[in-house]
């Protein structure tokens, strides 16, 4: 006797394989679509679902700063918990300029805004050279920095 004993069994088997393949294809397409939207958004300077600063501030700031609790000092100090923290807070770090050490006080939103706009005007003699000229961008960066708290 040749052939399939139960034609219904063969149809169910083929139907399951077809559904499995289509599920795999749909999963791939959805994943590729999400990856493409994240890549597009990141290239536009924004990652969906993240605070405005992440993807903009973080991408440029992390070149010199770390942003996580206990993160290492790179060329510049860690920014975790910076809003409300004492200026030049880590006494053992050699990289603070005398200008910033002498400034004293804590990092207020207003001080951060001035510092980001023109660090050398805020603390003459400081070595920070990057300026954020757009007031809205500074506001958003400061809002992002406020999310990095102890």
Q: Which residues contact 92 (CB under 8 A, 6 or more apart)?
A: none
Do the domain assignments include residue 136? yes
Res 84 pLDDT > 70:
yes
Asked if 82 and 134 sit in the same domain, the reply is yes
Q: What pLDDT was estimated at residue 44? A: 46
Do the domain assignments include residue 22? yes
Asked if 69 and 106 sit in the same domain, the reply is yes
Do the domain assignments include residue 133? yes
Asked if 65 and 106 sit in the same domain, the reply is yes
Do the domain assignments include residue 52? no
Highest mean pLDDT among 18-27, 40-49, 52-61, 117-126: 117-126
Q: What is the CATH number of the domain that holds 140?
A: 1.10.760.10
- Alpha helix locations (H) across 1-96? 7-43, 57-61
Asked if 32 and 71 sit in the same domain, the reply is no
Do the domain assignments include residue 51? no
Distance of alpha carbon 79 from alpha carbon 74, whole angstroms: 11
Res 64 pLDDT > 90:
no
The number of domains in the chain is: 2
Asked if 24 and 71 sit in the same domain, the reply is no
- Helices 109-117 and 135-146, axial angle in degrees (round to 10): 130
Asked if 134 and 83 sit in the same domain, the reply is yes
Do the domain assignments include residue 12? yes
- CB burial string 21-48: b at 16+ within 10 A, e below: eeeeeeeeeeeeeeeeeeeeeeeeebbe
Where in the sequence is the domain holding 18, given as residue range(s)? 1-44
% of the chain at pLDDT higher than 90: 23
Asked if 21 and 63 sit in the same domain, the reply is no
Asked if 34 and 6 sit in the same domain, the reply is yes
Asked if 80 and 141 sit in the same domain, the reply is yes
Distance of alpha carbon 95 from alpha carbon 75, whole angstroms: 8
Do the domain assignments include residue 89? yes
Do the domain assignments include residue 50? no
Structure-model confidence comparison of residues 116 and 58, the more confident one:
116
Mean pLDDT of 101-126: 94
């Amino acid at each position: 006797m040749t052939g399939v004993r139960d034609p219904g069994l063969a149809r169910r088997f083929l139907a399951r394989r077809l559904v499995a393949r289509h599920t795999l294809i749909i999963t791939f397409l959805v994943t590729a679509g999400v990856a493409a939207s994240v890549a597009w958004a990141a290239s536009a300077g924004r990652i969906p679902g993240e605070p405005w600063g992440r993807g903009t501030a973080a991408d440029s700031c992390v070149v010199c700063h770390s942003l996580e609790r206990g993160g290492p000092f790179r060329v510049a100090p860690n920014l975790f918990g910076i809003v409300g923290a004492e200026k030049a807070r880590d006494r053992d770090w050699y990289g603070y300029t005398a200008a910033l050490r002498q400034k004293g006080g804590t990092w207020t939103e207003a001080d951060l805004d001035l510092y980001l706009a023109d660090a050398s005007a805020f603390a003459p003699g400081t070595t920070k050279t990057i300026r954020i000229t757009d007031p809205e961008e500074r506001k958003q960066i400061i809002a992002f920095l406020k999310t990095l708290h102890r």
